[in-house]
Amino acid sequence: MAFPLPADPDFRKTCVGFWLDEIDDRIEMNQPDNAEWAWKEANAIYLSLPLGEGDPELEHRIFEQRVKLDNLTYITNENNL
């Protein structure tokens, strides 16, 4: 992150959503390394939320994107064998 985020949990959740959207954009542009970086940013911001401010839907999206990236990596590695 280039700057400290405001402490407001809703703002941070919005940022997580933007980073999760960025993953799909980077995959579409064939930039898996940047997609991985976007996931790490989304996850780090989500994990920085105060206790009790979690969001099950956002957690599910984070998990889905992780699976998507893992599958992409697996397919890429299989093609290189």
Residue with tokens 């960025």: 22
Q: How far is CA 80 from CA 46, 74, 76, in A?
A: 33, 10, 7
Q: Quick one: pLDDT at residue 5?
A: 77
pLDDT (tens, 9 = 90+) of the chain, 81 residues, equals 456 778 899 999 999 999 999 999 999 999 999 999 999 999 999 999 999 999 999 999 999 999 999 998 765 555 555
- The pLDDT, as a whole number, for residue 75 is 59
Token pair belonging to 62 = 């984070």
Q: What is the pTM of this model?
A: 0.83
